[in-house]
Amino acid sequence: ISNSSSIADWLSAQHVRSEWRPVPLKEGVYLRGDIVFEDLSKREVKTSAKDRVSKLAADTIEQGGGQVLVFVSTRRSTQAAARKAAKKIREYLTKNEKERLKEVAHTIETALGESTETCRKLAKYVRQGTAFHHAGLHHRQRRAVEDAFRENLLKVICATPTLAAGVNLPSQRTVVRDYKRYTPPYGMQPIPVLEYKQMAGRAGRPGYDEYGEAILLADSEAEQETLMDEYILAEPEEIKSKLASEPALRTHVLGSIASGYVNSLASMLEFIDQTFFAYQYSAERVRSIVEKVLDFLKEEEMISEEGKWLSATQFGVRVSQLYIDPLSGVRLRDGLKNVESEELSELGLLHLICSTPDMTTLHLRKRDYSDIDAFVADHAEVGEFLIQPPNEFHEPEKYEFYLSEVKTAQLLQAWIEEAPEDRIHERFKVGAGDIRRKVSTAEWLLYAAHELAKLFKIKPAYQPLRKLRQRIKYGIKEELLDLASLRGIGRVRARSLHNAGYETLEDLRKVSVEKLARVPHIGSKIAERVRKQVTSDKF
């Protein structure tokens, strides 16, 4: 942290700076078979692997059985790099390691209840001693990969930078293959020094390695020199306060008023003055942003002002309690006020929650535009949307955002229509982890929408929101709601039971455990659990 002294000053704390690491770190740049380190020492890499990542991985293993973390810029690249490395790394696995990796691969393939193409690819590479790791994987799959790496079964993990930020997973060598990342609308941009240092810091396993190595890859002498100067020998960027953005600030401003912690502009500024945000910016800038946020909250009737005193309205208090962005509260309120009957379109409700800043929407690709544009035109014409689309010609940027929201709503709609995860992945180019995060956020926002509907007494929305939230939770059609409410029965097992003729809880009470166990995906243990539940007082 290059501005750690500023943070210490802000906290009125004593500043202590240490360069100590439990394992010394050597940083270098690989070019045409040689690694040049920061002290200008050089080491030749002699392995027979074809590509650079595989060479460096194989070299690490040959030098003493070490492991390698490889950082690349995209999810697709993690899979490609793991595939190439597997061809070489499998040569170094012992018989025992191969057997244990088969078990890990089985865990990965069965983690979701239904096998997807990504599951199968990951399991295939794991059997050969490598893996890929990114936020699109299900958390059970990520955990299986991380545990196998900690146990030294996996020799190489090819990951996106999210691994460096969130998981304590050291390796003997870290390879940073990509130091540029695509950033719309600017194209390929160099990553921050701080991000490189975070990845490099994963090198060196305490208790195993004398030192760790962090290696960048160059294509020319000029690039090698640039990487040495701008990353290895460079200072990380300064830490900046996140409160400087309006979205972050409006949540905290509303929360502090709703909780009664502050009750005037003066006390709000006094409170904000204690933050790192106020330490880094001028008093005029801080006051300007705070006043802008307060104006927004007053205009949207989340807070009221009497003289110099500020207080939260019922709406403001409930939004704060729900932990949603105040702008999300406004969008949900405005959309729900357009509800006229219980004959609500599920698409309209799904789009409503996807229009909030709390939902991260899917990226709109060029080839999506015409299809989703036509979809919006068809469904807007029959009044399915609670928020009408902006004018495509007068507000092209807003319209594009709208299409992105609709695309995200389509994913959620596919989920509740019981589309297999493989098909969702193929259509929307998302992983199991992405689907789970979207589903979790949607469930939370539907709960928030239901609570706001109650606050504003929009009764026709109560039942549709309650049902839709349950369907989102399980990923099912409405006909499976009762079956999916049973513990241990997800979307796949609920559909199997329904297809076998057991459509209600009453049907399940009448059937024997033995007969139930013969239903695909059920088995004797699940059948016993189901029987116990449907015959209990709760049901």
- DSSP of 341-354, one letter per residue? SS---HHHHHHHHH
Backbone phi and psi for residue 303, each to the nearest 5 degrees, phi listed first: -135, 155
pLDDT of residue 539: 60
d(C-alpha 97, C-alpha 87), whole Å: 16
**In the prediction, which pLDDT does 182 show?**
87
> What does the pLDDT average to over 224-252?
94
For residue 19, CA distances in Å to 1, 16, 39, 229 come to 11, 10, 17, 19
d(CA 266, CA 247): 21
The stretch 425-451 carries a mean pLDDT of 96
- The Cα 480–Cα 499 span in angstroms is 11
- Separation between Cα atoms, residue 180 and residue 432, nearest integer Å: 26
Per-chain mean pLDDT for the chain: 94
Torsion of CA 335, 337, 338, 339, to 10 degrees: 100
This prediction has a pTM of 0.90
Query: What pLDDT score was predicted for residue 536?
Result: 84
Higher pLDDT, 65 or 504: 504
Percent of the chain with pLDDT over 70: 99
Over residues 387-402, the mean pLDDT reads 94
| CA dihedral sign of residues 491, 492, 495, 500 | negative
Whether omega before 185 lies within 30 degrees of 0, making that bond cis, reads yes
Amino acid at 198: Q
What pLDDT sits at residue 168? 83
Q: What average pLDDT score do residues 314-334 get?
A: 98
What is the set of domains in the chain, with CATH numbers?
25-232 (3.40.50.300), 242-321 (1.10.10.10), 326-475 (1.10.3380.30), 480-534 (1.10.150.20)
Q: Which 3 state secondary structure label does DSSP give 39?
A: coil
Residue 263 has a pLDDT of 96
pLDDT band at 19 (very low <50, low <70, confident <90, very high): confident
Q: How confident is residue 167, by pLDDT bands cut at 50, 70 and 90? A: confident
Give 523's pLDDT tier (boundaries 50, 70, 90). Answer: very high
Of residues 12 and 344, the one with the higher pLDDT is 12
Task: Give the pLDDT score at 16.
Answer: 96
- What pLDDT does residue 165 have? 77
The CA dihedral of 79, 80, 84, 90, to the nearest 10 degrees, is 10
Asked whether the predicted pLDDT for residue 283 surpasses 80, the reply is yes
pLDDT at 75 over 80: yes
Cα 176 from Cα 228, distance rounded (Å): 13
Task: Band the pLDDT of 163: cuts 50, 70, 90.
Answer: confident
CA distance 420 to 413: 12
Q: Are 126 and 105 within 8 A, CB to CB?
A: yes
Residue 114 pLDDT more than 90?
Answer: no
448: exposed, middle or buried (C-beta count within 10 Å: 0-12, 13-18, 19+)?
Answer: buried
